Amino acid sequence: MHIKSITRKKVRDISSLDKTNQVLEKKKNTFCFSFWNKKIIQQKTLSFVVLFFLLFSVIQNNVMAPIFFQSREAIASNDEERARLERELEAVEKEIAEYEGLVATTQQEKAALQNKINELKGKADKINLQIKSTNLNLEYLNVRIDETTTSIVQTNDKINTTKNNLSNLLQTYSQLNQTSLVEILLGSETISEFFDYSNALHSIQEKILENIKELGELKVTLNNQSQELTSNKEETQLLLAMQMLQQQDLEKTRKEQSNLLETTKGNEQKYQQMLAESRQKATEIKGRIYQLLGVKTQVTFGEALDIANWVSSRLGVRPALLLAVLTQESNLGQNVGTCNRAGDPAYKSWRQVMKPDRDQAPFLKICQELGLDPDTTPVSCPMYQGGQQMGWGGAMGPAQFIPSTWMLYKDQVSSITGNYPANPWDIKDAFVAAGLYLAKWGATQQTRDAEWRAAMIYFSGSTNTKYRFYGDSVLAIADKYAQDISYLKSVAKQ
């Protein structure tokens, strides 16, 4: 799964050019009908027109207002809101760091009932703060999205106004330019009258060029604002996914704590007995169902481990990390593979949920190669906030590759699995694709830092600590899988 200040530009409003056009048209007609009978009033009329035109330009330079931005009161309000959110976020992150230290300390102590309860409580408190941090980041992003949306509306309005101004200028210039300079010269009472008319034409030309230049700058501004809005929405999508994972983890922690207290009734001896019984046999571990949404048939943990070991032997990525990443992707829940299914409404179609210029063409090609119906092949849904779509969906299969990224890896996947073409919904191909991606970003080093970095990039394309919950959660899952794998190996040696 994978912002810019706007230059204030003053522009001239030439909405009153119609009046100027009428005067200049009258002047042109005067030239035509009094070619041989020139009167002194012509010179006075033209002088009045030029004076009026120059006066109009001076006035316009003084009344132009900046564009793209809200009122000073709105800007001050937004700045105050940002500052408040930044202060709250800093305080929350400080508390998170304190709870991280508490959890780490508790985990290192003796495996006693009270310590376990304290560990679970500390973990729940930490997750609550992480959810609060995510909510603050989402609130901060919403401010930026509102600002950018307002700027886009204002820029579009200014583009339309500039287009109208340019159209009026071109029409005026065309009318004035119908009389040749020779005719104007011959029809002028004095040389100065000829130059006045010529200067008027030149001024119109300059305004046309200014409006053309401004229109180009406005379009660049609009493009930048649109890119900023897209970036903000994609960032919101990642944070919403993070929030969902955090809430799932919190619920799991609370349930674990509740079950622990219910089972032991606070009795240390019962807890120690429970720990001994929890060391499952190898056959029980192998029989555990390994949930992977998007896969038509479920596989057992043992089967998934066999695939992960096979991929690891070829790519050098730890089996536990591979299992953890694919598990975490599936833990994104209802948004995995719940769009574009047979019977889904139109708004969940691949034409709506996939980014048009990035993923739609590759998706059609993938479906065509695999003989799949693009209108009924499940893909992930985008995230929604307040009924508004944030970012894009369209991720495929258990490894959650978007179509454009899958196209970059499918040939490498085929060369390893022997499946031509590679299939993102095939469990083995999905494992290999995930392994290739993680290996590219350093997971083959098999250090904690390297694996955390690779997992973070797998999720967001960066190591932005705003999304660190994903990387931390993947490593926590990998630790649990590593314990199971270690136990299986110890049993195999007996």
Q: For residue range 121-176, what is the model confidence (pLDDT) as tens digits?
A: 888 898 899 899 889 988 988 999 999 999 999 999 999 999 999 999 888 888 77
Residue 263 CB partners (closer than 8 Å, separation 6+):
270, 274
Amino acid 191: pLDDT: 67
Q: Which residue has the higher pLDDT, 271 or 239?
A: 239
Report DSSP state, residue 348. Answer: G
Q: Is the pLDDT of residue 270 over 80?
A: no
Amino acid 225: pLDDT: 93
- For the ranges 126-130, 174-178, 333-337, 408-412, the one whose mean pLDDT is highest: 408-412
Amino acid 393: pLDDT: 93
**Residues in the chain, overall count:** 494
| Average pLDDT for the chain | 78
Q: What is the pTM of this model?
A: 0.66
Q: What is the dihedral of CA 69, 72, 77, 81, to 10 degrees?
A: 60
**Helix 319-330 crosses helix 468-493 at what angle (to 10 degrees)?**
130
Amino acid 359: pLDDT: 97
Contact 253, 118 (CB under 8 A): no
Q: Is 396 helix (H, G, I), strand (E, B) or coil?
A: strand
Place of tokens 């600590």: 465
Relative to beta strand 289-290, strand 388-390 is: unpaired
Q: Is the pLDDT of residue 184 over 90?
A: no
Average pLDDT of span 426-442: 96
Contact 391, 353 (CB under 8 A): no
